[in-house]
Structure 1
Amino acid sequence: MRRRRDPTKLLAHFIQEKKKIAFLVGAGLSAASGVPVFRGEDPNAIWVKRVTSMGTKAAFLRDPVTWYNEFWFPLFKHQYTRASPNAGHEALARLSNLDPNLLVVTQNIDSLNRQTREAWAHQDKLVEIHGRLGLYHCSSNNYCILANETWAQAIDVFGPELAEQIEGGGADSSDPVVLTHVPRCTECGTGYMMPLALMFDEMYDSHAFYQSDKALAAFEEADALVFVGTSFQVNISNLAIEAGPRKRGIPIFNFNIRDGLAKGGGRRYDVFNIIGPAEETLQKLLEQVEACLEKDSLGRVETEKHREVLGGTLCVGKADFRTTHEVGNTVSNHVVCNKCLSQPSANVPATPFTSSDQPGQAKSGPSYAFETFPQPIFSFPFSEEDVEIDFNPCYGRLSHPDSRLEANIDSTWDRLSEEREAQGCSALFNAVKFRLAGCLLVKEGEARPMKLLLELWLTDYKTARGTNHASIAPLLQADGLAAHKDAQVYLSQKLGVSAILCTQDGDLVFIERSTKGVADFQGYIDTPGGHPEPGNLGLEFPLSPPSAFTLIQTLHDPANAALLKQRIRHEIFTSAAQEVADEVGVPLDKLETPKLLGLVRQLEFGGVPSLTFLVNCQCRTSDVHKYYAAGPKEGNESTKLLFINKQGVTNFLTIPDLKLAPAARGSLELFIEHTL
């Protein structure tokens, strides 16, 4: 039976990723502050003291003076004078400041959430759905309200004599608070002033202060629902579960002193019970979140300082992948960094081939700039077992703070779709892709071989067209470098693959790209290529809340995470052979297992990366001709095949004004360096 991962860590991961989290807080949060709970086994529980019969607006209107003297003041007097926030309240305030998409809906009227030392940066992220002690409203006109923040200010309602009785007597005083009359509303002069607290015969929408619409909207939109110290016997708990988990399958996290919510039962949603006092369990959650954010910052800022590990690394120079230098005294037990993935090349001008170029107009002139990795000093090519995958949300793209630049993603996609439709081309198809954030050479000990580590998350084709392939790519790079010391942090960086296809005759197979129906480099010579498809593994982007939760669960389970990473690696390797089959027509059973030669980055497109594979085929050049003539699956993307014997590749690259796509040129450079 698979061991379930720590639910506190799962929730911390949600908060780290700025997911929409809705907290519903009950009386258990304030128990450590000395405030009695409403239900439960505690003999001092408020609801055992005839609150359901007296806690109604009808009971108040029957005799307001008696209601205050015999019910309200004896029941809640202590909360005005002695209670103070505990560590649980402080943790919620801090969590709210860390995640602006987190909303706290409290059922408590003690106002302790608003008295924390940690100031709420977003005051609108706290909803007091049952009201607040110290506030009063008119019993006749609910829009009449005196906004007194503390009991001391209740002097405006009841006068100085009563205020002194309560504050002077204290919670332990046996002197009763005696009210001789109930003030009338100062706005309308007719209604009595009653506490702004939801009574048992009132609805959640009976007063605007309760913000019930805002709370229900948060439950409906949340990626996860969190209960803290609640008995699940109040209607708002059922409304929250119905709005989120039951309708959309989002998970529930229950912080309680006992299992208050059962698991299973054929439900669509998962329930995670975090057992213990709220002041302790919420602090542990906060610690986990801060630990995640600290770890994430290491991955965001300079990609962990470009992976330059103290004690000795071999680093790749950012101006030229094929130039290396040592940092420290040794080259062992550490990481080889790829600075070019986080900083633009210093010697390449920013003259991008952008999505603003008209479809169908091939670019002429010299080949475009590219960079390759790794250096020929390492033993290549790599087999599938020589590659490791780090699949983690911290490698995802960051949204640019300027909403206008983010809007360019949709506008670019819409424009390109209209242009293709006008030209009679097939419609653009968006699909999930892998995002490559880093490519590192890793060596763990002298006796173990060097491995290639790919740092991956998810993106999609539309985001790539609106960032890497758009005219704003240089601006996004500059802003990313300035704000995060990472030029690619605002770019899609979708991962592609290129295949160097070699026949039994020693000929390399190229395609000539169509002048219609392909996005870039129309009419150019290119290698067969495309993308590994995360969709083949059941991955999607953007992640829906249920999919995100399932994926995070998988990544937090070592065995399942390892299996997923193996499947991702296999998808990347097999995609190279699949592209050959789709674009050239050579059957998969005629292709040998692909070998990885390295990485090529196209600088015109913000350094968009592609992995180059060597794919040997078990057939003659003439057979490849026949397969292509029969009509491959994606034959519309090319117009003809070209064959260059591998011994003549070096001379081929010297042809003046050769219209060779940059990914293909970079792939041939890797082929020459690592195989010839």
Structure 2
Amino acid sequence: MHHIIKSLGSFDILWPYMRESENSAYVQGEQASGAICRHDLAANFDPIIFSRETNQDIEKQINDIWSEKCTLNPRLYNGTKFRYNGGEVIGKKYVLNVGLTSYKDLCGTNLSKNFKKILELGRNKADNSQAFMSDPIGVGVLLITDDGYGVVTRRAAWTGEFPGLLDRPGGHPEPEGKLKPNFGQTDINEIVMEEIWTSAAQEAEDELGIDKSKLEDMRFLGISINNESGGRPSLEFFARLRMKSQEIRELYNLGKQTEADESTALHFVPRHTLKMMPFFLLEQAKLGSYSYYCTDIFINLISQVIVSHNMVTET
């Protein structure tokens, strides 16, 4: 068994089962006691073995959905993405199996209205519900400022996913330009893992306008599996942002960040409020008004930090 699995609404949370080692996560009973450092993570990259299965009907569906989405939103871009194909503990490292996919494939599989049929096809044809799914690796990071606030933004209305909702900084690692034909497999595995790890900090810089060098004590918390998007995975991180909230707001308001148009507002959530948000938001979900507040991934990330890793503490 390589994961502790905990369900939260429409999500499953995967915590890697690690042996006890210095600065790494391990499991006591059913409780994860920490988070994983960079040196405890590795990637096994193979763009053929770990890419999705396909057939003629699925390819037609992907093309049709993409054409329709591009007509409605001309700003969409079909970038290459890393694909998550599970993970396993090897020695004292948690190793991610990584292939390649694309944003177009994501829209036509995980985000399609009939994703359940694609999952069923995978179970029937390959004994693996995710076999035909895009499953691009997403990343997100919950930042806690020096003066004790969680950092969130409200997503712009034009964005392809979760428009108008609160979210943590996040996005997707980008394979393009990182992989060269002359690299050996060991080099490629390290480059892929480094891109995945650093992309979370890069997203914070691109969305907030901060210097990513201000992020300290970054840790990998676990993997969010969104069951309402066909098992779509997101690697979630925690970091301490060595800046005060007012400094961050001033930089954000300059509007010079690379992805300034992806959000419309910056919010700071006090620690005591952050601790209560999972319970409040789950109640809102029951009342049907949940979507006004935040993305499912964000509530899940808060819950991972608070309930499982106890990192949002008073100082």
With the length of structure 2 as denominator, give the TM-score of the two structures: 0.85
**Distance of aligned partners of 1:671 and 1:636 in 2 relative to their CA distance in 1, 3 Å threshold:** same
Q: What whole-Å deviation, never above 9, does each CA across 1:155-212 have from its counterpart, x for those lacking one?
A: xxxxxxxxxxxxxxxxxxxxxxxxxxxxxxxxxxxxxxxxxxxxxxxxxxxxxxxxxx
Write the letter of the residue equivalent to 1:666.
N
Quote the residue 1:381 is aligned against.
35
Task: Indicate the SS of the match to 1:502.
Answer: strand
Could you tell me which residue of structure 2 aligns to residue 429 of structure 1?
A: 77
Give 1:615 shift. 2.1
Q: How does 1:35-434 map to 2 (within 5 A)?
A: 314=1, 316=3, 321-322=5-6, 369-374=10-15, 377-392=31-46, 393-400=48-55, 403-421=56-74, 427-434=75-82
Where relative contact order (Cα < 8 A, 6+ residues apart) is larger, the structure is: 2
- Unmatched 5+ residue regions in structure 1? 1-313, 324-347, 349-367, 422-426, 445-449, 540-549, 555-559
The 5-angstrom pairing of residues 510-525 of structure 1 reads 510-515=152-157, 517-525=158-166
Hey, what does 2:93 align to over in structure 1? 451
| Paired amino acid for 2:218 | P
**2:106: which partner in 1?**
464
SS at the partner of 1:639?
strand
* Counterpart residue number, 2:310: 675
- Contact map agreement 2:106 2:134 (CA 8 A) in 1: yes
Q: Find the counterpart in structure 1 of residue 141 from structure 2.
A: 499
Alpha-carbon offset, residue 451 of structure 1: 2.4
Hey, what's the Cα distance between the residues in 2 that align with 1:596 and 1:630? Answer: 30
- Structure-2 residue corresponding to 1:151: none
The 8 Å contact of residues 573 and 594 in structure 1, kept in 2 or not, is answered as no
Match of 2:172 in 1: 531
When residues 455 and 660 of structure 1 are mapped into structure 2, their CA distance, relative to the original with a 3 A threshold, is: same
Structure 1 counterpart of 2:299: 665
Change (3 A) 1:536 1:663: farther
1:478 is matched with 120
Whole-angstrom distance in 2 between the partners of 1:410 and 1:601: 25
In the alignment, residue 188 of structure 2 is paired with which amino acid?
L
Query: Contact 2:278/2:303 (CA < 8 Å) preserved in 1?
Result: no
Shift of 1:405: 2.5
Partner of 2:249: 625
Q: Secondary structure at the match of 2:132?
A: coil
Moved more, 591-600 or 387-396: 591-600
Partner amino acid for 2:13? T
Aligned letter for 2:78?
N
Quickly say closer, same or farther: Cα 1:593–1:674, change in 2 above 3 A.
closer
Look up the match of 1:561: 185
Cα distance in structure 1, aligned partners of 2:43 and 2:165: 32
Which letter does structure 2 place at the counterpart of 1:483?
A: K
> Per the alignment, in what secondary structure is the counterpart of residue 405 of structure 1?
helix
Query: What is the DSSP-based 3-state SS (H/G/I as helix, E as strand, rest coil) of the residue aligned with 2:71?
Result: helix
- Shift, 1:617, TM fit: 1.3
User: Contact conserved, 2:119 with 2:132, CA < 8 A, in 1?
Assistant: yes
Q: Which amino acid aligns with 2:269?
A: I
Q: CA deviation at 1:378?
A: 3.7
Work out the CA distance in 1 between the residues paired with 2:273 and 2:93: 31
Residues of 2 paired with 1:463 and 1:612: CA distance?
Answer: 22
Cα RMSD of the aligned pairs, angstroms, is 2.0
Aligned to 2:21: none
Q: Deviations over 1:519-551 (max 9, x none)?
A: 111111111100111114136xxxxxxxxxx47
State the match for 1:105 in structure 2. Answer: none
Query: After the TM superposition, which of the residue ranges 651-660 and 461-470 deviates more from structure 2?
Result: 651-660
User: What is the total number of aligned residue pairs between the two structures?
Assistant: 286
Could you tell me how far 1:443 is from its partner in structure 2?
5.3
> SS at the partner of 1:395?
coil
Structure 2 residue aligned with 1:508: 150
Structure whose alpha-carbon radius of gyration is higher: 1
The answer for the alignment partner of 2:20 in structure 1 is none
Counterparts of 1:615 and 1:406, CA distance in 2: 39
1:379 Cα deviation (Å)? Answer: 4.2
Letter in 2 for 1:405: I
CA contact (8 A) 2:82 2:136 kept: yes
Which AA in structure 1 matches 2:143? L
Of 250, 253, 272, the match for 1:647: 272
Instruction: State the Cα deviation string for residues 125-148 of structure 1 (Å, max 9, x = none).
Output: xxxxxxxxxxxxxxxxxxxxxxxx
Distance 1:646 1:667 in 2: 14
Equivalent position SS for 2:73: helix
State the 1:508 CA deviation.
0.7
Tell me, in whole angstroms, the C-alpha distance in 1 between the residues paired with 2:3 and 2:213: 38
Moved more, 603-612 or 633-642: 633-642
For the 8 Å contact 2:106–2:136, the answer to whether it is kept is yes
Deviation at 1:596, TM superposition (A): 0.8
Alignment partner for residue 487 of structure 1, among 118, 125, 129? 129
Q: Distance in 2 between matches of 1:386 and 1:379?
A: 15
